[in-house]
Amino acid sequence: MNASLVALALMDGVSYAALLFLVALGLTLVFGVMNILNIAHGSLYAWGGYLAATFGIAITQHGWPAALALPLLFAAALLVGLVLGSVLEIGLLRRILDKDPILQLLVTFAAFMMLEDLQRMVWGGQPYFVSDVVNQLGTLEVAGVTYTRYQLLVLPTVALLAYGGLRLFLERTQLGRQITAVTHHREVATAMGVNAARVSWLTMVIGAALGALGGALASPTTSLTPGIGAEMMVLSFAVVATAGLGQIGGAGLAALLIGIVRSFSIYLLPEIEVLVPYLIMVAVLLVRPQGMFANVAARRI
């Protein structure tokens, strides 16, 4: 494996890890605050991608300024997060908040299936692909390899900004500290005057927007087809399980590990490329069942 191929694999891994991290970040945030593993999160990724692609097609068809292409990716993610996140939280998640975890999984899986069917009704089964943003930003050469600026610079930068912004929001703002308080103990936070219902809604909107942002940013480089949400949901769950449920920072390192190892496997052992994320997850969980970065919690009686 020569130096150029190593550089290409690293760049592929980092760009893919950035998308994976954004989706996993939203998933682990919702779990950390609401203690619900939201299976429907994968469909938010798909909706963000399809809506962003729709905006991209509209730019071409209506002759809108090409500079709108990148901002509309973020607009699609915010729209999906606000609308679908609110619908899921108000209409579903708050009603199963204290239910059995198995019931929560079944209900959110049912929501995922409904959103997948609705997605097919809106966009059909034809692939969607719009690469205007990638073409506008051009390419650069690294270690003798020509690579797109969008994948090498934009995707990792957005992922880092999303993580940094979320950390600052949780640690430096009053509303963020309320979210943290609910994460530690919902009943105590409520007794101290925190509006837990508002916190849950905001958490779900932010988590949904992050999931949709992953799909929106993937739309210029990925052919969107039915089932893409299920694939990303399983991969993001592998990231979250590897890092430890509720570990926001750890999810970034787990996504980077899975993204880079998966990328190298594509070039070296493509036969096992699909298995690599799950092999990493299983290897970690066999050694640390709570995940790489989670601490073992004392049982409360």
Give the DSSP letter string of the chain: --HHHHHHHHHHHHHHHHHHHHHHHHHHHHHHHH----TTHHHHHHHHHHHHHHHHHHHHHHT--GGGHHHHHHHHHHHHHHHHHHHHHHHTGGGSTTS-HHHHHHHHHHHHHHHHHHHHHHH-SS-B---HHHHHH-EEEETTEEEEHIIIIIHHHHHHHHHHHHHHHHHHSHHHHHHHHHHH-HHHHHHTT--HHHHHHHHHHHHHHHHHHHHHHHTTTS-B-TTHHHHHHHHHHHHHHHH-TT-HHHHHHHHHHHHHHHHHHHHH-GGGTTTHHHHHHHHHHHH-TT-SSPPPPPPP-
* For range 173-180, the mean pLDDT: 88
Rounded to 5°, the CA angle 20-294-176 comes to 70
242 Cβ contact partners less than 8 Å away, ≥ 6 residues apart:
254, 257, 258, 280, 281, 284, 285, 291, 292
Mean pLDDT estimate for the chain? 88
User: Residue 191 corresponds to which amino acid?
Assistant: A
Residues 79 and 94 sit within 8 Å (Cβ to Cβ): no
Measured distance CA(169)–CA(167) in Å, rounded: 5
Residues 180 and 32 sit within 8 Å (Cβ to Cβ): no
- Summarised one tens digit per residue, pLDDT across range 99-118 is 898 999 999 999 999 999 99
Q: How many residues does this entry show for the chain?
A: 301
**What's the pLDDT at 14?**
93
- Summarised one tens digit per residue, pLDDT across range 72-93 is 999 999 999 999 999 999 999 9
- Tokens for 252, please give them: 């970034």
Q: What is the pTM of this model?
A: 0.91
- Tokens for 104, please give them: 């929560």
Longest Cα–Cα distance in the chain: 64
Residues 252 and 210 sit within 8 Å (Cβ to Cβ): no
**What's the pLDDT at 196?**
86
Per-residue pLDDT band for 300 (boundaries 50, 70, 90) equals very low
- Summarised one tens digit per residue, pLDDT across range 198-234 is 999 999 999 999 999 999 999 998 888 888 888 889 8
Domain boundaries, the chain: 26-233
Measured distance CA(183)–CA(233) in Å, rounded: 23
- Summarised one tens digit per residue, pLDDT across range 14-70 is 999 999 999 999 999 998 888 888 999 999 999 999 999 999 888 888 878 878 888
**What's the pLDDT at 296?**
52
